[in-house]
Amino acid sequence: MSPSLPRKRTILAWHRWLGFASALFLLVLSITGLLLNHTERLGLDQITIKNSFILKRYGMVAGNQISAYRIHKADTIAHLDGQLFYNTDPIIQASEPLDIIKTREMTIVATKEALIYFTTEGQLIEKVSTSQLPYESLIKVGMDPRSQAVLMADNGNWTPDKDWLTFEAYEGAATFIPRVKAKLDAATQNQILENFQGGGVSLYRVMLDLHSGRLFGWGGRTLMDLSALAIIILITSGIGGWFRKSRRPTKTNTH
């Protein structure tokens, strides 16, 4: 048996399995490419996807429950996966509220890393980060004996002025009373979730990200890159094998 025969068999087996492995990705590329080439005719940009698996890939599915707090008797401040809502309207990106303080002029939402000021009608005034505050991290909000807010932070306690513009160190007594969460009805929760998702994601974007592998993050992009390299190898090796075979001298029959 020729020494090159086992090597040829190994190359053929490797070539065959490489082809099988890349066939699925080539099929995905072909189908999504055809669909994307006819986006306008198929209306891909007009179709929205609300499948939970797809929305999760785009970070549009809430992983935690909605936390809500009652203010002004009929209104609520709600929090869902890094987003604050006034009733059901999204307002600003923020972490879970530690407390909500009401004054005559405004409402203050205190979080670990910021103070967020609203009008009494729920309009956003300003978000003040800890870089503009006398502390780096807020732990909780308490009350002094006069029922004035005390910000209990990592470097001590602080009291704001009546406009919540300046803060002074506070060393007196302070009590902490946890805020009770409000219960939202199913319709309100569904509306908050709908607003959080933003109406879904277009089928065009899904097809585009599936075509590039971005739908599955860096792993999907890597697999698509590897499949593209595998197809290049298959094509170049196939063409090279054909050229080598075509250059071999043909045997002639002698009589």
pLDDT band, residue 1 (cuts 50/70/90): very low
Tell me which residue of 90, 126, 96, 100 sits closest to 113, measured CA to CA: 96
The Cα–Cα gap between 157 and 166 comes to: 13
Higher pLDDT among residues 255 and 248, named by residue? 248
* Tens of pLDDT, residues 31-87: 888 888 888 888 888 887 777 677 777 766 655 588 999 987 788 999 988 889 999
Q: Is the pLDDT of residue 140 over 80?
A: yes
- What are the distances in angstroms from CA 43 to CA 37, 39, 63, 209? 11, 6, 31, 17
* Tens of pLDDT, residues 211-249: 877 777 777 777 777 777 777 777 777 676 666 666 666
The Cα–Cα gap between 215 and 53 comes to: 11
pTM, to two decimals: 0.58
* Tens of pLDDT, residues 146-174: 989 999 999 999 999 989 999 999 999 99
* Tens of pLDDT, residues 80-108: 888 899 999 989 989 999 999 988 889 99
In order of start, what are the domains of the chain with their CATH numbers? Answer: 28-60+199-242 (no CATH), 63-197 (2.130.10.10)
In our burial notation (b when 16+ CB lie closer than 10 A, e otherwise), range 40-51 reads: eebebeeeeeee
71 and 53 Cβ atoms separated by less than 8 Å = no
